[in-house]
Structure 1
Amino acid sequence: MTALSLKPARLAALGRSELTLLVRNRAALSVALLLPLVMVFVLRSTLTGPQDAAALGEATLTGGIGMVLVLVVYMNLVSAYVARREELVLKRLRTGEARDLEILAGTALPATVLALGQIAVLVAAGAAALDVRLPRNPPLVLAAVLAGILLLAGLSALTSSFTRNVESAGITTLPLFLLTALGSGLFLPVDALPDALVPVCELLPLSGVMTLVRAGWSGGAQGGDLLAAGLTTLAWAGITVFAVQRWFRWEPRR
């Protein structure tokens, strides 16, 4: 990737073309749009005990934000990058005026918009259905979500480099999905894990993002914890940018 500047017009054009392809896949789009509401109402039917409802609802909404990021941004974009590569779309775009970063960002734009919309629906519906208070620090939650989108978009580009075809994307994305779901505190608090695993889980790619999301929602986090979470996220972002620049594949695998 040779330049870091983005041309809004080209980025919008690439995003529109990618959005058209996404809309045509009605099955995937329907599942993605319904996911937040389904998560909220399924949880509502399983909550018991008024003294635990607020805590469980808040944990579900913050975990739901993480699930949206992983499912909509990461897993969806791996398939998108692989499909565009195998169809020679990326190769053709690269021979034109669009820069490498614009091509990658344009492909990620629809998933980004969809994820932000889902999270907004998740927060609003969850607050109404589960009687959960709104975030105490909305700017911190938004910053954490945007950081998560950027990080997972990069990780999806990296994962696509060793994904042979769209059919195998479900396999290559599974390790990060499981590690994040189990180790980054999406639904199970990190503190509930064995003590030996906690320091390792805190260093997982999405752990810093989820720490910031929870801190922005509930407040009360220590400055040191926020700093550590931010540094972990920045470190993974730097590693991901380096890896994508070195190993991302623009042409079909042979």
Structure 2
Amino acid sequence: MTAPATVSRNGRLLGRLGLGPVSLRRIGVLGRAEMILLLRNKTAATTALLLPLATVALFSTFLSGDGHVSTGALLATTMFGFVLLYVVYYNLVTTYVARREERVLKRLRTGVVTDAEILVGAAVPALALALAQVVLTVVAALVLFDLPMPVNIPLLLAAVLAGCAIFVLLATASSGFTRTVESAQITTLPVLILSMIGSGVTGSVESLPDALARVFQLLPLTPVLDLVRLGWLGTAGTDAPRDFVGVLSEAREPAVIILLWLAIGVSATRRWFRWDPRH
């Protein structure tokens, strides 16, 4: 049995992962089921809902403004980074591993659901929670930190969506190296630690040697947060704020790095994601 002929344009775009066409209706059904399972799992729900906020609260004790970026703005944009790392990346690694070891993924593949639908459907709850927390962060920052309205809203939205896509793909690839849900605490550490250090959310990277700072600019979270700050504040911290059009020239380099990570993520998913249980 083949997928319906009336696959939407968005569905065709998702299908370009090389995992088959997708139906948004079937993705919605899988997503609702995953959301129920997530909310029933107190540990996973706590990690997704509270850990990013608690981590940012911890780092707020020693974070300070950087150049033209105030401490409040740095805290707000840092929250974006931890949402991507914990709500999207870490949460999805454990989700994919759990469904694989329970043979849920294998059973789903025997039906009409395509591979792309299975992967995207499992990611729906994490993405929904991430976007909700991003919206709440923006509202809280506007009210509590008296931050201005975003300079370039389309650029800000593009940065958030691109970041979600990158870390979903990294989660699918990382799950292939993760034998159990418990071992995800170990296998995700390289991405979590390097992303936090390289993007500057644990402290400024300005004092580091230029060669090392340049390497950090190539890590997956760094260009995403650069675009977030450009889209919201008009500056990544080193230059004076720019207007709606002015930030676009500054956004070129981070955008290119993001595109490279998207390509790397697709390739890594095709190569390393596992559908069958590891034990």
Normalized against structure 2, the TM-score is what? 0.82
Counterpart for residue 253 of structure 2: 228
Deviation of 1:45 after TM superposition, in Å, equals 7.6
Q: Give yes or no for the alignment of 1:20 onto 2:36.
A: yes
Question: C-alpha offsets along residues 109-154 of structure 1, whole Å, 9 cap, x if unaligned?
Answer: 0000000001111121222222222321122111100000011000
Question: C-alpha offsets along residues 136-182 of structure 1, whole Å, 9 cap, x if unaligned?
Answer: 11221111000000110000000000001000001111111111111
Higher relative contact order (CA 8 A, sep 6+): 1
What root-mean-square deviation, in Å, do the aligned CA atoms of Structure 1 and Structure 2 show? 2.5
Q: Structure 1 or 2: larger helix share?
A: 1
Of 70-79 and 5-14, more deviation after overlay is shown by 5-14
Measured in 2, the distance between the counterparts of 1:218 and 1:63 equals: 13
Of 38-47 and 63-72, more deviation after overlay is shown by 38-47
Measured in 1, the distance between the counterparts of 2:265 and 2:64 equals: 41
Counterpart for residue 148 of structure 1: 163
Deviation of 1:196 after TM superposition, in Å, equals 2.1
Report 1:167-186 matches (<5 A). 167-186=182-201
Measured in 2, the distance between the counterparts of 1:48 and 1:205 equals: 23
Which amino acid in structure 1 is aligned with residue 96 of structure 2? Y
Which amino acid in structure 2 is aligned with residue 177 of structure 1? L
Between Structure 1 and Structure 2, how many residues are aligned? 252
Of 128-137 and 14-23, more deviation after overlay is shown by 128-137
Measured in 2, the distance between the counterparts of 1:145 and 1:91 equals: 31
Cα contact 2:47–2:86 (8 A) shared by 1: no
Query: Out of 128, 135, 149, which is 1:134 matched to?
Result: 149
Measured in 1, the distance between the counterparts of 2:29 and 2:107 equals: 15
Q: Give yes or no for the alignment of 1:89 onto 2:80.
A: no
Cα contact 2:173–2:269 (8 A) shared by 1: yes
Query: Out of 222, 233, 244, which is 1:218 matched to?
Result: 233
Measured in 2, the distance between the counterparts of 1:127 and 1:46 equals: 22
Counterpart for residue 109 of structure 1: 124
Which amino acid in structure 2 is aligned with residue 22 of structure 1? L
Of 159-168 and 194-203, more deviation after overlay is shown by 194-203
Structure 1 counterpart SS, 2:73: helix
- Seen in structure 2, the aligned counterparts of structure 1 residues 165 and 116 have a Cα distance that, compared at 3 Å, is same
Which amino acid in structure 1 is aligned with residue 70 of structure 2? A
Question: C-alpha offsets along residues 59-88 of structure 1, whole Å, 9 cap, x if unaligned?
Answer: 111111011111100000000000000000
Structure 2 counterpart SS, 1:191: coil
